[in-house]
């Protein structure tokens, strides 16, 4: 989870607000960026895989991307993770 925790909490929170992502969406994004599957993210965050998928779809829409790789690249570029 080192990648998901990069940056100070205040900086991450400010970046999330600026890009319209919820705190949970950023948590999901960080774990996905580390290479976890939806099932693994669900287990780590005590969510259902379907809920993880919905969070991920929201992230895709908000960042204007369509796949996990592009999401990770965009999130790093914007300082979200």
* Summary mean pLDDT of the chain: 84
Give me the domains of the chain, ranges plus CATH numbers: 9-77 (1.10.10.10)
pTM (2 decimals)? 0.76
Residue 13: other Cβ atoms inside 10 A: 13
Q: Tens digits of per-residue pLDDT, 52-66?
A: 999 999 999 999 999
């Amino acid at each position: 989870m080192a990648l998901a925790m990069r940056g100070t909490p205040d900086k991450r929170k400010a970046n999330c607000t600026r890009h319209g992502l919820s705190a949970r969406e950023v948590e999901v994004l960080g774990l996905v960026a580390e290479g976890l599957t939806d099932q693994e993210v669900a287990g780590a965050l005590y969510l259902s895989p379907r809920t993880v998928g919905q969070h991920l779809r929201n992230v895709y829409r908000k960042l204007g991307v369509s796949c996990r790789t592009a999401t990770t690249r965009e999130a790093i570029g914007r300082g979200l993770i």
